[in-house]
Amino acid sequence: MGTPEEAGDAATRKGSPPIKVYCLPSERQVIERQARSTGLSMACYLRRVGMGYQVKGILDHQMVGELMRVNGDLGRLGGLLKLWLSDDQRAAGLSDATIRAVLRKIEATQGELQDIAKAVVRPRAKP
């Protein structure tokens, strides 16, 4: 796939003939929804799909941001819990096993969030 300059022609998309595709209203809605989910216009979305490019959705990146925010909140919670346990006498009634279990759960949840974030950024190929 060469660029117009490589072909020796200074054509622009606006000056080129369009490709018309007939589709049902329901098909158009699906295409519009998919294009919107990627943040692209329908024309740009269809051009990229038609040329074999992988189109990534912006929704995925928003989800990763949200997951990482929760991950940070968990990290801060763990830090506050450690601080509270070291400075507050009210923690004297909690057993070491309970405290360690809470900390392990926080760490496990952080790891799970990171795994989900990675899966969203690099989704597995569908069979």
Instruction: For residue range 58-107, list pLDDT tens digits in order.
Output: 666 777 777 888 888 888 888 777 767 776 676 666 777 877 888 888 88
Place of tokens 């496990």: 108
Alpha carbon 94 to chain centroid, angstroms: 39
Judge if 30 and 81 occupy the same domain: no
Encoding tokens for residue 65?
Answer: 């941001």
Say whether both 29 and 67 belong to one domain.
no
40 within domain boundaries: yes
User: How confident is the model over 14-48, as pLDDT tens digits?
Assistant: 889 999 989 999 999 999 988 888 888 999 999 99
Instruction: Give me the pLDDT at residue 97, please.
Output: 83
This prediction has a pTM of: 0.43
114 and 63 inside one domain: yes
- 88: domain range? 58-121
> Domains in the chain: how many in total?
2
> Do residues 50 and 91 both lie within one domain?
no
| Other residues' Cβ atoms within 10 Å of the Cβ of residue 87 | 8
Same domain, 46 and 81: no
Q: Residue 4 above 70 pLDDT?
A: no
Indicate whether 83 belongs to any domain.
yes
